A = this chain, B = another copy of it.
Amino acid sequence: MSTTPDFKFFKLSNIAEYVVHVEINRADRLNTFTRAMWLELEAVYQRLSYDPDVRVVVMSGMGDRGFSAGLDVHEATTTGILREDAGLDPGRKANRIRRDVDELQRCVGAIERCEKPVICVLHGLSIGFALDIATSCDVRICTSDVTLAVKEVDIGLAADIGVLNRLPKIIGSSTWIKDICYSARNFGADEALREGLISLVAADKPAALELAFCMAKLWAAKSPVAVQGTKELLNHSRENSVTNSLRYTKVWNAAYVQSQDVGTAVMSSLRREKPVFSKL
C-alpha cells in the first residue's frame, strides 16, 4: 500500500508486491466482531479498493483458535442489534433494526464491492458472521480442521447479513444449502470442498496462508485491468441474464481494451519476458 494507516482491529501487511494481508486482530475474543470492527472493516476495504499499490487481498483471522466466532453476542444483546428497546413500539423498533441491519450489510458488502480480488483463509472456528465475510470474498481456502456453520438459526433468527443471499449464487446444490442453513449444524473442510464452497484445503493455517499467498502473487503479476475487470464482469453476470451481462461487457471493454496492458501483455508474451503493468 502507498501508506499504512493505523487500523485498530485489522492488521494490514504487504506480504509481496501488490499483495496485502488483512488479519482480524482480536484473537483473545476469538475474533468476534463488535460494531467498531465492522465499521473499520468497511473503511479497510474502501481504502484497498482504490489503492493503486494493492492488486490482491488475502484475509484471515489472527490466533490459533479460528477465523471468527461471529458477532460479539454480548454487545449485540446489550447495546447492539439484538438489544431491547423498551420504549419503542414495534414499528419504531422495526425501523431501528432495519437501519442496524443495513449498516452490517453495507460494511460486509465492502469486501464484494472492493475492486480487487479477495482470498479468504478460514481456520478453526469460522461460524456465523465469518461466513457472511467468506461468502463476500472471491475465493475461499481452509484448513483441514476448520469448523464451519451458518449459525443464526440457533439464536432464533434467519441470517440477515448476506450469507443466505450469497450462498445460492456461489454454490450449486440447493439441497445442501438448506440442510446446513435449517440445522445450523457444523460442517468441515471435506464437505465444504465437495460442495464447492471451498477451493482448496490445507493441512494447517501456515500451509493455507502459503497457498493463498501463492495464488495472490500469481494474480498480482497479471494485468490489474484484466483481473479487476474480470471480477466486475463475473459479479455482474451472477446477477443478470446472459443478454444483459453481454451488453454490459461490451461497454466495459470498449474502454478497458484501450489500456496499455494489452500491448504490454502481448509484447511480453512474444519476448518471453515477465510483463510489467503500470498502476491502476
For residue A112, give the distance in angstroms from its CB to the closest CB of chain B.
Answer: 8
A7 close to chain B: CB less than 8 A: no
Please name 17 further chain A to chain B contacts, defined as beta carbons within 8 Å, in addition to the given A138-B182, A169-B237, A184-B222, sorted by A numbering: A50-B99, A92-B259, A95-B254, A97-B254, A105-B250, A138-B175, A155-B226, A156-B261, A156-B262, A156-B266, A160-B253, A162-B246, A164-B245, A171-B173, A174-B234, A175-B197, A178-B234
Contact status A172-B175, CB under 8 Å: no
Residues of B within 8 A of A157 (CB): 223, 225-226, 229, 253, 256-257, 259, 261-262
Residues of B within 8 A of A223 (CB): 153, 156-157
**In whole angstroms, how far apart are the Cα atoms of A226 and B117 in the complex?**
33
A207 close to chain B: CB less than 8 A: no
Contact status A156-B97, CB under 8 Å: no
Contact status B89-A260, CB under 8 Å: yes
A166 close to chain B: CB less than 8 A: yes
For residue A258, give the distance in angstroms from its CB to the closest CB of chain B.
Answer: 4
- Interchain residue pairs with CB less than 8 A apart (5): A95-B280, A155-B226, A157-B226, A184-B222, A236-B247
Contact of A252 among B82, B177, B251, B266 (CB under 8 A): B251
Closest 9 CB pairs of A and B: A172-B172, A91-B259, A173-B196, A158-B229, A156-B261, A156-B265, A255-B255, A94-B255, A170-B174
Check A156/B225 contact, CB under 8 A, given A181-B234, A255-B251: yes
Contact of A91 among B101, B184, B225, B243 (CB under 8 A): B225
A73 close to chain B: CB less than 8 A: yes
**In whole angstroms, how far apart are the Cα atoms of A243 and B165 in the complex?**
9
A16 close to chain B: CB less than 8 A: no
| A129-168 contact mask (Cβ, 8 Å, vs B): 1 or 0 | 0000000001110000000000011111111101011111
**In whole angstroms, how far apart are the Cα atoms of A198 and B176 in the complex?**
8
Check A172/B156 contact, CB under 8 A, given A230-B181, A246-B165: no
Nearest chain B residue, comparing its CB with the CB of A91: B259
CB within 8 Å of B: which of A76-130?
77, 81-82, 89-95, 97-99, 101-102, 105, 109, 112, 117
Nearest chain B residue, comparing its CB with the CB of A177: B234
A27 close to chain B: CB less than 8 A: no
**In whole angstroms, how far apart are the Cα atoms of A129 and B26 in the complex?**
46
Contact status B262-A155, CB under 8 Å: yes
A238 close to chain B: CB less than 8 A: yes
Contact status A172-B169, CB under 8 Å: no
For residue A233, give the distance in angstroms from its CB to the closest CB of chain B.
Answer: 5
A195 close to chain B: CB less than 8 A: yes
